[in-house]
Amino acid sequence: MRLRKTTLVIACVVLACEATGFEPEYMVDTLRVLAVEPDSPFAAPGQTVNLTTLWADPLGNGRSITWAWGTCLNPGGTQITDCANALQTLTLGTDSFQVTVPLDALDGLSEPVGELGVIFAACAGTIALTFDPVNGAPVTCTDGIGAIVGRDGFMWGGTRLVVTTLETITNPTIDKVFIDGSEWAPGFVWPIQSCAATDPTECPPSAQHDLTYTATPASLQMYQTPTGPATVQLVGWFYVTQGTLTAGYALPDTDDAGAPVSPPTFDMAFAPTQSDLTHPVHLWLVMRNNLGGITFTDRQFSWQ
């Protein structure tokens, strides 16, 4: 199979859940949907796909979040708004979603590769299935007095599934997580020292940390392109509730000759700048490939 059409949606798939307008993008200090993971990034007509969200509302004090989901078929553009303007379904739901690819998803296409777009909306209030001209969203989120909820309590976005019967791509897998070279097991709360400085270089060395995670070798799947076989591209994303990261994402590490190291490894520097000791620090790690595969995990810190 040659995924010529898939190349048109790579940028959208890789960045689908990265909310623009958040500065810095890695800081999670309001309601955020960080990732939507399909159990099958490639799906055939008639196949049912389950989607799971990675979301956070760290300062919401446990407030209730309502959800809506919509789908579009072969919208013809790579922007989330292209799908929002071509919605075929729109319904209320929860933070997970199940969708069945229409049996006619590939009908009328010049190649046996299509797209099923999925739109989500998360609201700290009440969702109505009506267009919101303020946020440009296909749904409206209002608070208890009927006012439109802003970005601190409303987020919408989307992702896309590749529809085909000719090839299968699965999600990548995060293998191990490390901090300062030590393996960080799931469920273990890592103690760190606070730092009042705004510049991470001004934090004491004991409060400057190296975060690392690796992918399993099987995450480097092969697929066919018009020029021959290719290996999926992986990107590692990092999110925290406070502190400073070097950046929001990292490409796989390379050796001195510029070749990717094995297993695929993603590194990021972190310092808990301007520490707020009244709130813990939460870390989320998201790994994506360029064909819509995604996986995630999380870790938590405690203050020493």
Predicted confidence (pLDDT) per residue in 191-206, tens digit: 999 999 999 999 999 9
What pLDDT is stored for residue 23 in this prediction? Answer: 79
Task: Please check whether residue 226 lies inside any domain of the structure.
Answer: yes
235 lies in which domain range? 174-303
Q: Has residue 22 been placed in a domain?
A: yes
pLDDT above 90 for 12 = no
**CA–CA separation, 280 vs 59, rounded Å?**
11
% of the chain beyond a pLDDT of 70: 93
The answer to whether the pTM exceeds 0.85 is: yes
**158 and 11 within one domain:** yes
Considering the domain boundaries, does residue 1 fall inside one?
no
Asked, for residue 187, whether it belongs to a domain, the answer is yes
pLDDT at 215 over 90: yes
Tell me what pLDDT residue 226 has: 81
Q: Do 63 and 201 reside in the same domain of the chain?
A: no
In a domain, 169, yes or no: no
Does 198 reside within a domain?
A: yes
Closest among 104, 110, 88 to 45, alpha carbons compared = 104
Tokens 């909820």: give the residue.
Answer: 149
- Are both 276 and 136 inside the same structural domain? no
User: Both tokens of residue 210?
Assistant: 């190296």
Whether residue 81 lies inside any domain: the answer is: yes
**254-299 confidence digits (pLDDT tens):** 999 999 999 999 999 999 999 999 999 999 999 999 999 999 999 9
Residues 145 and 197 in one domain: no
> How many domains, the chain?
2
Mark whether 81 and 218 lie in a shared domain: no
> Do 156 and 180 fall within a single domain?
no
Q: Is residue 75 located within the same domain as residue 13? A: yes
Indicate the residue among 164, 185, 211 that finishes a domain. Answer: 164
Buried-state track 111-126, b at ≥16 Cβ within 10 A, e below 16: eebbbbbbbbbbbbbe
Looking at residue 178, its pLDDT comes to 98
- Are 217 and 286 part of one and the same domain? yes
pLDDT band at residue 19, thresholds of 50, 70 and 90?
very low
Q: What is the mean pLDDT of the chain?
A: 92
pLDDT at 5 (0 to 100)? 41
What's the CA gap between 126 and 139, in Å, rounded? 10
User: Looking at the structure, do residues 130 and 188 belong to the same domain, yes or no?
Assistant: no
Residues 221, 159: one domain?
no
Per-residue pLDDT band for 20 (boundaries 50, 70, 90) equals: low
Q: Is residue 9 over pLDDT 70?
A: no
- Rounded to an integer, the average pLDDT of 233-261 is 96
If you average pLDDT over residues 224-238, what whole number do you get?
A: 92
Check whether residue 121 and residue 226 sit in a common domain: no
Domain containing 235 — which CATH number? Answer: 2.60.40.10
Query: Which two tokens mark 275?
Result: 């520490």
Do 79 and 178 reside in the same domain of the chain? no
- The mean per-residue pLDDT over the stretch 33-46 comes to 97
